[in-house]
Structure 1
Amino acid sequence: MKGVTILLATSAIALPVSAHAQATDAASANTDTSDIIVTAVARGQNKLDSSISVSSLSAEQLQTSAPRSVAEVFRNIPGIRSESSGGEGNANIAVRGLPVASGGAKFLQLQEDGLPVLEYGDITFGNADIFLRADFNVARVEAIRGGSASTFASNSPGGVINLISKTGEQEGGAIQASTGLDYSDYRLDLDYGGHLTDSLRFHIGGFYRQGTGPRQAGYDGNKGGQLKFNITKEFTGGYIRLYGKYLDDRAIGYLPNPVRVTGTNSNPHYENIPGFSINQDTLHSRYITRNVTLDGNNNPVVDDIRDGQHPIVKSFGLESQFGLGGGWQVTERFRYSDISGRFISNFPSNVDSASTIATALGGAGATLSYANGPKAGQIISNPSTLNGNGLLAQIVVFDTKLNSLDNITNDIRITRDFAIGGGKLSFTAGFYKSRQTIDTDWLWTSLLSDVVGGGNAALVNVRNAAGQLVTQDGAYAYAASYFGGCCRRSYNVDYNTNAPFASLSYETGRLTLDGSLRYDFGNAQGTIAGSDLGGGRVGTISYDINGDGVISDAETRVGVIPLTNPAPVKYSFNYWSYSFGANYRLAEYLAIFARYSRGGRANADRLLFGPAVSTVDGHLVSSDAAVDMVDQAEGGIKYRSGGLALYATGFWARTEEQNFEATTQTFFNRKYRAYGLELEGSYRMGGFSLTAGGTWTKAKIVSDVLNPAVVGNRPRRQAEFVFQATPQYDFGPATIGVNFIGTTSSYTQDTNQLKLPGYTTVNAFLQYRPIERVQLSLNANNLFNVKGFTEAEDASIPANGIVRARSINGRTVSAAVRLSF
């Protein structure tokens, strides 16, 4: 090390360790006793001296685990349940049994360099991971579960996952070209950093890629890239850093797809539908790319379904540290992010036999024909043999315009150490401020499609017995009529969060005691519009969509937003969070710790359009609806000596939750309890190394205001045991390894009927360095093409045996050439 300081995450002081050194520590499986944690703590600490649970992944580990998204990166963190089946984003992420009642990462905050990507991780159709990419800019991923995450970040009582950027301490960079061998994906990554002068350094990097992606969609579903940079000026007693990010990327959002289920709810067998693979196909197609609808101002528009998840992020920030004299230090972080884009994807509201759907939409004697594609106009004379499966899908296009998810965040803190009673007392105090905009329009429509893989599905028309079209060019409605005409909505709300916080930590001998306190207060102000608000608001009208002067049957079902009759949103919230911990170093290589914490999460857009907020004046109907609290206790033992490190943590949590799920139009108001054991370990001997982790969780619903029948049940999708393990061996110029990710079974819904089977996936990697600075690599994600189900819409096996479920992606193999310089 060269005395270079860097402040990362939410530490209160800078650490005399470079990002390169930190990455090296993580890569060595945390066997170095100087391993320092910096995320969601008052100040940097050695793992064995801290009373929190933290894990880290180095840049090298990110490469070898063969992730296809950030959600797949998170699967390798103990205690984290990352349902990585949505593509590049839209993953459901939970920690230590805390619930995912709807979607996203409600109790877990995703950060870049110590500040949140979004203030709320579960914005509907705007989950935080959509706006996050892991590329060569990342030096290290650090994750805290529970503990001080309650007091050193807002809205994150479950934990914090922080992507820490390289900042130029290590001179040089790399360029890598990669391609899919059994799927279409072409990508170029590059980065470079170093010193411009003795006191000025920089880093710049990014990627660009294009291809169909891991599933067969029939078009380039993944297209775009990212560019990030930072420049750091060091001076006596501190530094100042400026940084920026530009992300413009399109990636398909994979939603549930049809799969056939036989057997019983408790012992089901999931199998592919003829002509459609649940882990390699998708209900997207080269022939289904246009969504004709009305926009947020009720004007005709044609949106491109190929946009998928399309985040556009333009952000810049400042980070600085300087001394005030007398041992006092100030740390300032600021970031402004201009965030917009779109989320558009196909959701099957129902998949059934073609004849059953034809009758349901067109009545007895209804007939079917192709609306587009190579068979456009052709009559489907024998629906029961259609594509070898005889099925049709009633698709709701989740077309959501993200007008603005702009986020502005500032965190300032002051720190000082005091010598007291033969020990050291560390004091930190600060103030956090953020403003999160949620300005979105929901522009959903209802289409009818056949069910076939390979990106070859086409739209289908229905005619009634009299030969009159019920659909128009495959559209049954220009609204979410399959959902009863709901959800034509507009949100335009700003959420302000303010939080003073303080902490004290006292170290004396082998004992470390710490406590921290945070007070969050803020408000929500704005308007929402939609017929779901009631009060005579109209959400469906007749409208001549195609402008031919005739109102067709489908054009009598056109969704509009009642813009002239919005409802106000105007309420405030506040809550206290605290965390107290103790750590005792039994020996140089052994420590025990215990901690109790209470933290909160303010509810955002998912609280709206429900019973909690008045549609008359925008105030809360129930004062406790704005915030959900989480109480947690944890304790464990940590061992690290030579090449062996072992960590075991027992945990308990009690969680409140009020939420809304868009796909089922269901509100939740309940409490949960979870307890369990989290294990993490690593071992290194010569060229062999092993990292592994597992989490056993016992969770249940302890109360439910709206649906008492589920009390005592296990929360949906909550497995009792999840695990990961990565053995690898380095020999000369080569490295070979395997990454195992596994889970036991869980239930599709809170009624605890239909099970999602447990599964284990295997990711394999091989690296070969023929000459200095050149590396050839081969990696396989889901090597054995396992069907791994993360969620399903159906609570039990339907009469027709067709379940709508999300599986992880099937096998993808890629190769890369990397040149370091």
Structure 2
Amino acid sequence: MAEMSPEAMGEAMGEASADAASSKEVFSTGVAKGRDRLDSAISTSSLKESEIEKLGARSLAEVFRNIPGIRAESGNGEGNNSYSIRGLPLASSGAKYLQFQEDGLPVLEFGDMTVSADTLMRYDLNLAQVEAIRGGSASTFASNSPGGVINLISKTGEVEGGAIQASTGVDYDEKRLDFDYGGRINSTMRFHVGGFYRTGEGPRETGYEAYKGGQLKLNITKEFDTGYIRLTGKWLDDHAPAYVPVPMHATGTNSNPKYESLPNFDISSGTFYSPYVANFVTLDGNNNLAQKNLRDGMHPIVKSIGLESQFDVAGWTITEKFRYADISGEIMQFQPVQIGAASSLAAAFGGAGATLSYATGPNAGQAITNPAGLNGNGLLAMALLQNTKLNALDNMTNDLRATRQWDLGAGTLTTTAGYYKSKQSLNTEWLYILAVSDVRGDGTSALVDITNAGGVLQTQDGVLNYAPARRKYDVDFDVSAPYASLNYHIGKIAVGGSIRYDFGKAQGALYGSELGGGRVGITSYDMNNDGVISIAETQVGVIPLSRPAPVNFEYEYLSYSAGVNYRIAEPLAAFARYSRGGRGAADRVLFTQIVSPTDGKLVDSRAGRDTIKQAEFGLKFRKSEVTLNLTGFWAETSEINQQTVADPNGVLSLHIIARTYSAKGLEFEGGIRRGPFSLTAGATYTDAKILADPLNTAVVGNTPRHQANFIFQATPQVELDMFTVGANFVGTTSSYTQDTNQLKLPGYTVVNAFLQFRPAERIELSLNANNLFSAQGFTEISQPALPASGMVSGRAINGRTISTSLRLSF
């Protein structure tokens, strides 16, 4: 029968509590062949399913922030969060230098597309473990991932049995049911199936059922004497709200600010979502009238099928992984772009003597006679109703590799050759309209109409205009990458190197008036079909479908990595590695001057890829019940990107940046167990700088925005036969809101507590508290400095949420 695969090993290990004293830990992500970590010159981490369930995480971002070196900005909720690693820049949203994978293949080819990959992923009882590699061979064993790879590994039925788990929020509204089961079909076949379904308002106030949907995953494995074939499937159809930046009051100084909630808008639980800000009309991607519902929130629909096989043939191990994912859906969010006194905004858009009235909600048509006292804060928001329609983000990936071990002298030479191929679609529409809303965060906000002194409505049902953004993308990205590696292991020394050459091309069309060339984007249109063109209806955005701009560019880049590992003693190893990796251009360069709207070529070929050079050296210790890993790292990054920048009043604009960054630091990860007590911990110190920026020399020498000097995680726990109790600490020191290095994001520490009680065999009751002490933490503030108004826009982490669950194992 075939040897147990790395995935199966992870599943078996995930069935028990993490043990810092594991005699041999096999790691398989971002490497040529799974091997013991003490014999590998790479920096790796893993989180077992049994440990993840204790964290009380409400999203994947809250799981990933427990990986050393990863800064996960979890404030957006279930998806579209932002991630950086080891000081690599976070110039825009998403995870530009990281790749998120499921079972060894990318979820999206690029980590910072219109929709971030975490929007298309969920963790549930299907998960065996999470593996992460930072730097190193991630550059050469995956495309577009020079910073690292985070891989969700599924259970495959290696361990017989399953579970059903019912969970509910104690102090917030969520009901969830999870299940999984796996085992043998016969002596040569096994399977695993699992998934979840949940409903509820969620951890923030929306006034309606904002979370609704679930996931189903299945795999079947056929084993042979020399290998296996596995068929996989996934269906995800889920709704979740997007928690965008909200207004708050700011006092103090730039270096020591204090952020506070506004009256009737709690920054830790409030949102602009509401049943009264839900239904609106717009023109779709074909310029036809369409009805949209803001309550859909982030709504990914993923249907994927995959085939994985591994066989030993004539001394070679041949591994083939293929997956096709049909990805569609919508992203609906309500993004404030300007906050001001109600009377001031009324005058700005309606002139002197303008009046206000409710456009939606139970008070629709009622005049607002006291704007200064509106909702206790006297504010109005001009906000974008953002509809990003995902017609197709289909992704096809195939990774074929052959590995062989050779006896060479007194050692073993491992050779690997492979070929990677992927195709990534980008067929999306940006359909934005601009509306006026009152400012309250309890799920009852409503749109507001503005009427001028002559009695003429300047808005229509709260909509100021229908033209802020109208774009259509229809582009396909094609990536090909041959790669190879050599590793020679003799005695205590392992020396290895790998190389990869990526060829990428983008072909398709863009539609939008921003592309110039006589492309018209504004017209008059009777949006409500009443036979009258209102003032708001004279500003209707249309997509110039007859005037596309071509996309037709190519890029290529070389990645390589070389390292040496020395097993000083059985429990101790030292390693060093140098790597150069790349990242290809994707949709961030589209609709910019980087791509010519005439021929679709790159104006500067260097904009087709970004390059990272990295070095790392470290020590690894594993003995008895103790593991310790200490790694020093250095990186230099060249990047061309779009960055959203806010002026002191919070008005947002897009800028092109062309920068060089550096980062150096020290990373620690460890674990200890003494009887029933165990502690796992990680910490990362980073010193990052902007080395050059010819477009904005004022920021040279500054620390990149959102980059903290120190981040950490720690999970102490006590585990006995009947119960487990512990806490998870996640923290960060302060960072800057923008690259100008004026206003700061304060540091914070989140405490998540857990209690598991096992009154009988196969029965477990759990209680999890996320952010137990309701710590105030901010992942984003738009303004570069404190404005004179004292009003800023920012994204805060959720306040305390407590959940309980009952699990029955069988």
Relative to the length of structure 1, the TM-score reads 0.97
Do 1:19 and 1:169's aligned partners in 2 also have CA atoms closer than 8 Å? no
Match of 1:12 in 2: none
Is 1:331 the equivalent of 2:319? yes
What secondary structure does 2:760 align onto?
coil
SS in 2 for 1:20: helix
Deviations 1:691-724 (A, max 9, x none): 0001011111111132221111111111110001
Q: Aligned AA for 1:284?
A: Y
Q: Which residue does the alignment assign to 2:713? A: 724
Stretch of structure 1 that moved more, 425-434 or 794-803? 794-803
Partner deviation per Cα, 1:488-542 (whole Å, 9 max, x = no partner):
1000000000000000000000000010000000210000010111122122211
Indicate if the aligned counterparts of 1:683 and 1:689 stay in contact, CA closer than 8 A.
Answer: yes
**8 A contact 2:25–2:36 mirrored in 1:** yes
**Equivalent residue, structure 2, for 1:797:** 786
Alignment partners' CA distance in 1, 2:300 and 2:707: 29
Q: Do the aligned partners of 2:702 and 2:739 also contact (CA within 8 Å) in 1?
A: yes
Match of residue 560 from structure 1: 542
Matched, 1:51 2:36: no
Q: Tell me which residue corresponds to 1:83.
A: 73
Distance between the aligned counterparts of 2:703 and 2:496, measured in 1?
A: 34
State the Cα distance separating 1:775 from its structure 2 match.
0.4
1:520·1:575 contact (CA, 8 Å) conserved in 2?
A: yes
Residue aligning to 2:252: 263
Match status 1:168 vs 2:146? no
Give yes or no for contact 2:11–2:156 (8 Å, CA) kept in 1. Answer: no
- The alignment partner of 2:495 has SS state of strand
Q: Deviation of residue 818 (structure 1)?
A: 0.5
SS in 1 for 2:600: coil
Residue type at the aligned position of 1:658: I
Match 2:425 to one of 437, 458, 469: 437
Residue 379 of structure 2: aligned partner: 391
Does residue 1:65 correspond to 2:47, yes or no? no
1:680 to 655, 669, 677: 669
In structure 2, C-alpha distance between the alignment counterparts of 1:267 and 1:7, rounded to whole Å: 48
CA contact (8 A) 1:291 1:445 kept: no
d(CA) in 1 for partners of 2:20 and 2:588? 39
2:647 aligns with none
What corresponds to 2:406 in structure 1? 418
The answer on whether the counterparts of 2:20 and 2:672 sit within 8 Å (CA) in structure 1 is no
The answer as to whether partners of 1:639 and 1:646 remain within 8 angstroms in 2 is yes
Structure 1 equivalent of residue 395 of structure 2: 407
1:276 alignment partner AA: F
Worse-superposed segment, 282-291 or 191-200: 282-291
What's 2:348 paired with? 360
**Which amino acid is the alignment partner of residue 368 of structure 2?**
I
For 1:133, the equivalent position in structure 2 comes to 122
Please say if residues 611 and 621 of structure 1, whose CA atoms lie closer than 8 Å, have aligned partners that are also in contact.
Answer: yes
1:689 CA drift (Å): 0.4
**1:523 aligned to 487, 500, 505, which one?**
505
Which residue does 2:185 correspond to in 1? 196
Counterpart in 1 of 2:461? 473
Is the 8 Å Cα contact of residues 597 and 633 (structure 1) preserved in structure 2?
yes
**Structure 1 residue 731 displacement after superposition:** 2.2
1:7 deviation in Å?
Answer: 5.0
| Alignment match, 1:451 | 439
Give per-residue Cα distances to partners, 1:658-680, cap 9 Å, x unaligned.
22246632222211111101111
Name the SS for the 2:346 alignment partner: helix
Q: CA RMSD in A?
A: 1.1
Query: CA offsets, 1:308-357, max 9 Å, x none?
Result: 110000000000011221x1121100000000000110111011111111
What does residue 501 of structure 1 align with? 483
Deviations 1:385-434 (A, max 9, x none): 11111111111112110000000000001111111120000000000000
Name the SS for the 1:664 alignment partner: strand
**1:449-494 C-alpha deviation (Å, 9 max, x unpaired):** 00112101111010112121111100001122xxxxxx31000000
Q: What is residue 23 of structure 2 aligned with on the other side?
A: 33
Deviation per residue, 1:541-590 (Å, 9 max, x gap): 11111111111111111111111111000011100000000010111111
Counterpart of 2:366 (choices 368, 378, 391) is: 378
**1:104 matched to 2:94:** yes
Cα distance in structure 2, aligned partners of 1:465 and 1:706: 46
**Residue identity opposite 1:120 in structure 2:** F
Please give the alpha-carbon distance, in whole angstroms, between the structure 1 residues aligned to 2:386 and 2:736. Answer: 25
Following superposition, the deviation at residue 29 of structure 1 comes to: 4.0
SS of 2:128's partner is: strand
Paired with 2:392 and 2:183, the residues of 1 have a C-alpha distance of 35
Residue in 1 aligned with 2:745?
A: 756
SS at match of 2:141: coil
Amino acid of the structure 2 residue aligned with 1:28: A
Q: Tell me which residue corresponds to 1:5.
A: 4
Deviation at 1:31, TM superposition (A): 2.0
**Residue pair 1:33, 1:46 contacting (<8 A) in 2 also:** no
Contact 2:6 2:34 in 1 (8 A): no
Question: Equivalences for 1:631-780 in 2 at 5 Å?
Answer: 631-661=613-643, 664-780=653-769
Tell me, what secondary structure is at the counterpart of 1:614? Answer: coil
Secondary structure of residue in 2 paired with 1:411: strand
- Alpha-carbon offset, residue 18 of structure 1: 3.0
Gaps of 5+ in 2: 645-651
2:568 corresponds to which of 582, 586, 589:
586
- Partner SS, residue 151 of structure 1: helix
Amino acid at match of 1:55: S
* C-alpha distance in structure 2 between counterparts of 1:4 and 1:275, whole Å: 61
Higher alpha-carbon deviation: 426-435 or 352-361:
352-361
Say if 1:521 and 1:574, in contact at 8 Å, map to a contact too: yes
Alpha-carbon contact 1:632-1:653 (below 8 Å) kept = yes
Is the CA contact (8 Å cut-off) linking 2:6 and 2:26 kept in structure 1?
A: no
Q: Distance in 1 between matches of 2:587 and 2:2?
A: 45
**Aligned partners of 2:3 and 2:34: how far apart in 1?**
15
Q: What is the match of residue 533 of structure 1?
A: 515
- Name the structure 2 match of 1:120: 110
Q: Deviations over 1:125-183 (max 9, x none)?
A: x1000000000000000000000000000000000000000000000000000000110
Q: Which residue of 2 aligns with 1:512?
A: 494
Q: Secondary structure at the match of 1:18?
A: helix
1:230 to 219, 230, 238: 219
CA–CA separation in structure 2 for the residues paired with 1:7 and 1:530 = 47
Tell me if 1:369 matches 2:357.
yes
Residue 110 of structure 1, CA deviation: 0.1
- Using the aligned pairs only, state the percent identity: 59
SS of structure 1 residue aligned to 2:11: helix
**2 CA distance for matches of 1:815 and 1:680?**
30
SS of 1:665 mapped into structure 2:
strand
Moved over 4 A (4+): none
**Contact map agreement 1:716 1:747 (CA 8 A) in 2:** yes
Structure 2 CA distance for aligned equivalents of residues 191 and 684 of structure 1: 30
Question: Which amino acid letter does the alignment assign opposite residue 584 of structure 1?
Answer: Y
Query: What's the TM-score once normalised by structure 2's chain length?
Result: 0.98
Contact 2:11 2:154 (8 Å CA) reproduced: no
**Matching residue of 1:22:** 13
Give the gaps of 5 or more residues in structure 1.
Answer: 9-16, 481-486
Q: Which residue of 2 aligns with 1:156?
A: 145
Residue deviations 1:214-270, cap 9 Å, x none? 100001111000000000000011000001000000000111011111111111001
Q: Secondary structure of the equivalent of 1:352?
A: strand
User: Which residue type is aligned with residue 615 of structure 1?
Assistant: P
- After TM superposition, give the deviation of residue 21 of structure 1 in Å: 2.8
Instruction: Report the alpha carbon displacement of residue 3 of structure 1 after superposing the two structures with TM.
Output: 6.3
Measured in 1, the distance between the counterparts of 2:11 and 2:321 equals 22
- Give the secondary-structure state (helix, strand or coil) at the position aligned to 1:140: strand
Alpha-carbon distance in structure 2 between the residues aligned to 1:287 and 1:800:
29
Would you say the 8 A contact 1:150–1:598 is kept in 2?
Answer: yes
Q: Distance in 1 between matches of 2:801 and 2:35?
A: 39
Question: Which residue identity is paired with 1:37?
Answer: F
1:4 Cα shift? Answer: 4.7
